Amino acid sequence: MTPAQAARWRGERFAHLIESDGPGGAERMLASVAAELQSVGSHNIVIAPAGGEGWLARELSGTGVQVELYHLERPFSPAFANWLAAVFRRHRITLAHSHEFTMAVYGAWAARRARVAHLFTMHGSRYYADRLQRRIALRVACLLSSSVVSVSRNLARHLAHDLWIRPAGIVTIPNGVRPPAVGEGHASLRDELGLTSTDQLVVAVGNLYPVKGHRYLLDALAQLASHYPALHVAIAGRGELEESLRARARDLRVSERFHLLGLRSDIGKVLAGSDVFVLPSLSEGVPLALLEAMLAGRPVVATAVGEVPIVLDGGRAGIVVPPEDATALANALSTLLGNTALARRLAAAAQTRATERYTFDAMMEGYLALYAQALRNHPHDAWAEGVRDSERQPFHRTGSQANARS
């Protein structure tokens, strides 16, 4: 953020709302935006569910961003909307930014009650569209919000169709990331796994859920095993499929070459140790792990889901394969593992494309423009104007947590 931008946002008061609390893409994006705004002297609170993993509070520890925890005990709760509005008033919030369906609806509702500007971002898939009531509720949230943001053009088209709104009414801001830090003074991933210089390592980053498609990656490893006896696969992530994936690796007789790394905070080190990055997902928006791999200069194999083919420039910045096809995945991996010159060319193209289009700074520019527009167009109370005029000085708060029951 430039010095002029930092001065513009100093003293502003933001609320960031989300319905989940784990190391997923939406949570990571929210945390990075809140921390960036806090670093320039604005006041930020994150409103997240109680009883979750506590990941957001840990991630934001030391940034000055406060965390408020909520209990939402039933799908329709006017009491929860009242509580949110009270939180906005207590923190003198001037703009609320919600993420995903539940908080988009309740955030818009509470923001209207508290006379606060509001916008929301939708990530991922069309899960909101399975019931008419949800589509109606989300359409109402659109009408009550200054902006509706989608992380991909594909999702934006679905939103326009599903919610009966003009496509021009949805803004697409792709996710963006900073280059992952490799770090120094620690053993490399290859050393950690006991690999030699002749071993080849394919890495995936994603929680162990069915939608991430790791079973197809495991099947691809089995298909490649005889042709690439020094090939290993490692997955950074945790989740419900850990034991079933380990069992399948045993059945396929590749257990010694299949590594589950668990949840990692050193993604830069994980990527640095890989020969190829693979994204075998069945559904995605604009996955942060893919962008980080591209910025780290890794050759990529990814499935043609969501915005992935666009991110990879139609295959010019990585190999794109159909989802749920272990053979296609194995063939693409074999192509890169057996052709180092091609792998280097695609890695360089991926790094250039990510640097030009998918950085954190580019994403932040898009959101700051929407924030400025929302605040210009919103009829603020006199006290809100006074807050911004009197508080454009840097200040620092320690993170805190509070529980509220709807």
User: What pLDDT sits at residue 379?
Assistant: 62
- From the number of C-beta atoms within 10 Å of its C-beta (0-12, 13-18, 19+), residue 122 rates as buried
pTM for this structure?
Answer: 0.87
d(CA 312, CA 264): 25
Measured distance CA(357)–CA(93) in Å, rounded: 31
pLDDT for residue 184: 59
> How far, in Å, are 205, 229, 259 from residue 269 at the CA level?
12, 24, 15
Three-class secondary structure of residue 356 per DSSP: helix
* Residue bearing tokens 């997955």: 235
Q: Of 37, 36, 60, 38, which Cα lies nearest the Cα of 48?
A: 60
Q: What is the CATH number of domain 189-357?
A: 3.40.50.2000
Element (H, E) at 121: strand 117-122
Single-letter code of the amino acid located at 227: H
> What is the pLDDT, as a whole number, of residue 57?
95
| pLDDT of 125 | 82
Q: Give the pLDDT score at 269.
A: 94
| pLDDT score for 30 | 97
| The CATH classification of domain 3-176+359-405, taken from the options 1.10.3720.10, 3.60.150.10, 1.10.10.10, 3.40.50.2000 | 3.40.50.2000
Q: Where in the chain is the domain with CATH 3.40.50.2000?
A: 3-176+359-405, 189-357
Return d(Cα 277, Cα 204) in angstroms, integer: 6
Q: Do 101 and 129 form a contact (C-beta atoms < 8 A)?
A: no
pLDDT in tens, the chain (406 residues): 888 888 999 999 999 999 999 888 999 999 999 999 999 999 999 999 998 889 999 999 999 999 999 999 888 999 999 999 999 999 999 999 999 999 999 999 999 999 999 999 999 888 899 899 999 999 999 999 999 999 999 999 999 999 999 999 999 999 999 988 876 545 699 999 999 999 999 999 999 999 999 999 999 999 999 999 999 999 999 999 999 999 999 999 999 999 999 999 899 999 999 999 999 999 998 999 999 999 999 999 999 998 999 999 999 999 999 999 999 999 999 999 999 999 999 999 999 999 999 999 999 999 999 999 999 988 654 334 444 444 443 333 333 444 343 3
